[in-house]
Structure 1
């Protein structure tokens, strides 16, 4: 596996990956503006999924759970430029402006395809990744981030509802959130933060709601979803484990057999015979 990250500042990086696929389950602390140079990415969220290809530009909101699967394609590595739009940088940008974000505005992935202004802004960063011994000036980085934000606001004026909103997660309905997001293989600390709770309070509330431990409940829910995908949606085990919260295929097969008495492959075999 050849996965490389190169930062020119803490907020701007180039990633490159040339193995078969790379999967990660994340919740970002910052908004992420991404430009694909080559390769393909599938982003799976609770309510929807997206497939992005070379030339696409998109913005992932912070504090959103997602499974991300990166693929090399057409003999080229998966390669992208990523810019973090941190709360600190956004506060600085919006300080002189009178932006009033709407409460309850939807937090979604924004897709800008190959918008020429954004592409030009992000492509201008490429030469800096080749500067081996020179330090990328912070003032230039700040200017580039401000340029990107300005372009985003020009493309979509409603984006202020996302970028100018600096609130942290507040206490929300635990059952609703977990039923919607159980397939993401996140540490319990992340689940507790996103539901507006300390880890101790999260475990206590979880026990009251579900009458079991978080880990047992999560495993059972993921296995039930996997079984449904295999038997009803006619999908393959190698596709299913990637999207149901399991770290690798062997662990998925072991847990599946322990719970259902047969492996995912055996279940698919029965389906084929029928």
Structure 2
């Protein structure tokens, strides 16, 4: 049985708890997220790399980064993590008073801070508030978030290049981006946003590049990848459908049989 609960101190600070074999989600976070994984295991899969974390781990997930996040319970203990959302508004107010040590956008990748005592202390100081099950007063919440930002900068000054960058994604090569990220199951609006285009411009440019609609192209690319993983890598349909971009196994099986003439289980 899968049970997932989330307790919010504020809209920006939460404690999540998961009990079950596995919980998967695909995300493009609107804000940077600082995570303290207390127990359990978290795997973050991106287009070109992946990270595996187990408690106790601290890591920062950048905004606008596409990733599949897979949480697991381990050792008979539930998966627990404290997450702090570093919103653009909060960071802009912070940097209005301070000059960043580094400017310019860093590569959108997960930054690891495991083992840093000041960060661990900052995140652990939130636990008594969760036990009280009371809302965190706004002034204390602001202090805690500011403390976390300050410690991140002191730990790695290069983090400024990520936290102080507030621009929206610029217009990029659509074909290269889609070939690299087609397996992420996102709304077309979000694909367009990450390519620096409105939905209408994304659809128009997509047709020019691929000579078909985004949805048809995405389905075909995902099925081709699934067929390769099933036939060449000898994987099982239940382990493949999510990773190639389908929401559920039944939809994947139907689309697969429609394209190839046989069920994925036949491989």
TM-score by length of 1: 0.93
- Alignment map for 1:95-134 (pairs within 5 Å): 95-99=96-100, 101-103=102-104, 105-132=106-133, 134=134
2:20 is equivalent to residue 19 of structure 1: yes
Please give the per-residue CA displacement for 1:70-118, whole angstroms capped at 9, x wherever unaligned: 1111111111000001111111111122216443531210012232221
Aligned to 2:173: 173
Alpha-carbon contact 1:16-1:77 (below 8 Å) kept:
yes
Residue in 1 that maps onto 2:259: 259
Q: How does 1:74-153 map to 2 (within 5 A)?
A: 74-99=75-100, 101-103=102-104, 105-132=106-133, 134-153=134-153
Pairing 1:50-89 to 2, within 5 Å after superposition = 50-89=51-90
SS of structure 1 residue aligned to 2:242: helix
C-alpha spacing 1:100/1:201, structure 2 compared with 1 (3 Å)? farther
The alignment's C-alpha RMSD in Å is 1.4
Deviations 1:232-274 (A, max 9, x none): 333332222221111122222222222122222211xxxxxxx
Q: Aligned partners of 2:50, 2:21: CA distance in 1, in Å? A: 20
1:210 corresponds to 2:210: yes
**Hey, what's the Cα distance between the residues in 2 that align with 1:27 and 1:258?**
30
Question: 3-state DSSP class of the match of 1:242?
Answer: coil
Q: 1:271 matched to which residue of 2?
A: none
Report the secondary structure of 2:26's partner residue: strand
Residue 219 of structure 1: aligned partner? 219
Aligned equivalents of 2:34, 2:264: Cα separation in 1:
37
Aligned length: 266
Alignment of 1:159-198 (within 5 A): 159-198=159-198
Distance 2:102 2:204 in 1: 34
Deviation at 1:231? Answer: 2.4
Q: State the alpha-carbon separation in 1 of the partners of residues 41 and 26 from structure 2.
A: 16
Contact 1:44–1:68 under 8 Å retained in 2: yes
Structure 2: give runs of 5+ residues left out of the alignment. Answer: none
Distance 1:104 1:122, change over 3 A: closer
Partner of 1:231: 231
Once residues 136 and 116 of structure 1 are traced to their aligned partners in structure 2, the CA distance between those partners, rounded to angstroms, is 23
1:240 equivalent in structure 2: 240
Whole-Å separation in 1 of the counterparts to 2:105 and 2:139: 34
In the aligned structure 2, how far is the partner of 1:256 from the partner of 1:73?
33
SS of residue paired to 1:113: coil
Task: Indicate conservation of the 8 Å contact 1:100/1:164, yes or no.
Answer: no
How far apart are the structure 1 equivalents of 2:114 and 2:185?
29
CA distance in 2, matches of 1:100, 1:147: 17
